[in-house]
Structure 1
Amino acid sequence: MGRVEGKIALVTGGASGIGLSAATLLTKEGAKVVIGDFNVEGATEAAERIIHSGGEAIGIFLDASKEDSIKKAVDITVEKYGKIDVLYNNVGLTNLQKDVDVVNMDLEEWDRLMNVNTKSVLLGSRYAIPHMIKAGGGSIINTASMAAFAGDATRSAYGASKAAVVNLTRYIAAQYGKNNIRCNSVAPGLILTPAAKNNMPEPVLSIFEKYNALPYHGEADDIGYTVLFLASDESKFITGQTIQVEGGHYMANPSIADFQALIG
């Protein structure tokens, strides 16, 4: 207990999956958390479960595609608790039907993903930073993706939007470090959230497992614990970094799995 004792956190996209894991772990370690989500019922239910377990949280509506909604979420956090120490920009969208290769991509989908996946990070930070400066510092954490670090056959807009998050993280860290504000991001690999379990066919899961260095898939808490670390003072000398939590998917020569199978 107590790794983030007394800290105030806003977690966007916190009603389920990775965001819910982060919100839950933060409260278990002493933080008070505002859970913002488009699914306001889910955010409220998540907060109620946290309260039932002895933590403190509230659930609010957040539309990460709208600037005024993001600002309002930050304002509510400060009005409720007096400050904001931790901002976890976690909202992200993907669309396997419309976000395909560059030639055939739906351009409206490109704009939508850039707006939600990248601009929401900018706006959340834009409105939280002045409050963090007043409070003497803070930690901003962004959700990037392993898709930011390599090309792929599809999801061109998603990969580009997450690559932008990686570099925006560096810019925020460079610009506000002297204000005692740290900014880092987490790049998940395939994480078995409820949505992934329900929507990811077994052949796709097998491909990821084949090329991971580790013999298993990630769980939401693998990201949640990384967020907890970055929110805590344990990481007080880490800023501008992106921690890849992806089972070693990009660690080795990509042909190593095929060679191991051949040798075996």
Structure 2
Amino acid sequence: MDRLKEKTAVITGAGSGIGRAAAVLMGREGARIVVADYDTAAAEETAALVEKAGGQALPATVDVTDEGSIADMIAATVREFGGVNVLCNHVGGTNPRTDLDVLRMDMEEFQRGIARNVTSTLLGTRHALPHMLRAGGGSIINTASVAALVGDVLQTAYGAVKAAVVSITKSTAVQYGPHNVRCNAIAPGAVLTPALENNLPESVVEDLKKGNALPYLGSPEDIGHTMVFLASEESRYLTGQLLVVDGGMTMQSSAAPGRRAQLPA
């Protein structure tokens, strides 16, 4: 399998969950992977999994809110592998205990959300772009969220910052498309990452399933496969787009789960 043969991919937040799945899948497809994470041990674990799958991997410790740290990560990538062809700006997240409604939201959490989700995406792109331009093109993949598309009773900051990620994606695509650099975003729905499984009661997980058109929640590999597609030449005519990978959660009527339950067996 060589859909990404001779490509070098930098994946931030690759120490677990979706980022780890994407790293292993891209390595299996022939890419050289820079496994970047704030947690050094987690990055090393993922790198070992990539190599076990037959790929090449370089673990890298990075703080995506710090420009110097990102610059060091990209410089290490170029020293080790000669360039950057694919960048996955995957780090993000929020604190659901402090990211509340507009009146009660912790403003410090809002600023942290901007740094983790928006600033990190912009800085990663700024430092990878010169190497993609020298190489004649590349693919940037940003992780947004379905929270960017719908309103919610809580997590006001998360929805706002992920909407900003979508906007940065479109601007990057317009500005650098003439140089053969593509930029797309993925909006995952509910995905069974370790963070979700370890922090949500089973009853909440079941409610999330009911909100999907499909009868199950996504796996990290489901999003990872989408990242592989966006990194490959199979998506060469796709740029500036938001791919919603959510099992049909955001497209179905809120009444659909209840009506489905009333249907005859």
TM category (shorter chain) comes to over 0.9
Q: Counterpart in 1 of 2:138? A: 138
Q: Counterpart in 2 of 1:226? A: 226
Measured in 1, the distance between the counterparts of 2:97 and 2:54 equals 42
Report SS of the residue matched to 2:214.
coil
Report SS of the residue matched to 1:3.
coil
In the alignment, structure 1 residue 73 sits paired with structure 2 residue 68:
no
Deviation of residue 201 (structure 1)? 1.0
Q: Counterpart in 2 of 1:2? A: 2
Q: 1:242-261 maps to which residues of 2 (within 5 A)?
A: 242-261=242-261
Measured in 2, the distance between the counterparts of 1:230 and 1:49 equals 22
Q: Counterpart in 2 of 1:122? A: 122
Report SS of the residue matched to 1:104.
coil
**CA offsets per residue over residues 125-146 of structure 1, 9 Å max, x none?**
0111111000000000000001
Report SS of the residue matched to 1:94.
coil
Which amino acid counterpart does residue 21 of structure 1 have in structure 2?
A
Measured in 2, the distance between the counterparts of 1:49 and 1:18 equals 14
Identity %: 48
User: More displaced, 71-80 or 170-179?
Assistant: 71-80
Gaps of 5+ in 1: none
Measured in 1, the distance between the counterparts of 2:54 and 2:228 equals 18
User: More displaced, 37-46 or 253-262?
Assistant: 253-262
Which amino acid counterpart does residue 77 of structure 1 have in structure 2?
T
Q: Counterpart in 2 of 1:57? A: 57
Which amino acid counterpart does residue 152 of structure 2 have in structure 1?
D
Q: 1:85-104 maps to which residues of 2 (within 5 A)?
A: 85-104=85-104
Which amino acid counterpart does residue 54 of structure 2 have in structure 1?
G
Report SS of the residue matched to 1:11.
strand
**CA offsets per residue over residues 167-223 of structure 1, 9 Å max, x none?**
110000000000100000111011001121111111211221111000001000000
In the alignment, structure 1 residue 188 sits paired with structure 2 residue 188:
yes
Deviation of residue 262 (structure 1)? 3.6
Report SS of the residue matched to 2:110.
helix
Report SS of the residue matched to 1:229.
helix
**CA offsets per residue over residues 60-84 of structure 1, 9 Å max, x none?**
1011111111111111111111110
Measured in 2, the distance between the counterparts of 1:92 and 1:101 equals 19
**CA offsets per residue over residues 22-45 of structure 1, 9 Å max, x none?**
010000000000011000111012
Which amino acid counterpart does residue 235 of structure 2 have in structure 1?
S
Deviation of residue 251 (structure 1)? 1.1
Which amino acid counterpart does residue 217 of structure 2 have in structure 1?
H
Q: Counterpart in 1 of 2:160? A: 160
Deviation of residue 260 (structure 1)? 2.3
Q: Counterpart in 2 of 1:28? A: 28
Runs (4+) of structure 1 moved beyond 6 Å? none
Conservation of the 8 A alpha-carbon contact between 2:47 and 2:58? yes
Measured in 1, the distance between the counterparts of 2:72 and 2:200 equals 34
Conservation of the 8 A alpha-carbon contact between 2:27 and 2:51? no
User: More displaced, 240-249 or 53-62?
Assistant: 53-62
TM-score calculated relative to the size of structure 1: 0.98
Measured in 1, the distance between the counterparts of 2:239 and 2:20 equals 24
Q: Counterpart in 2 of 1:174? A: 174
Gaps of 5+ in 2: none
Measured in 1, the distance between the counterparts of 2:149 and 2:104 equals 22
Deviation of residue 259 (structure 1)? 2.2
Measured in 2, the distance between the counterparts of 1:211 and 1:49 equals 33
Provide the aligned C-alpha RMSD in A. Answer: 0.9
Measured in 1, the distance between the counterparts of 2:198 and 2:74 equals 32
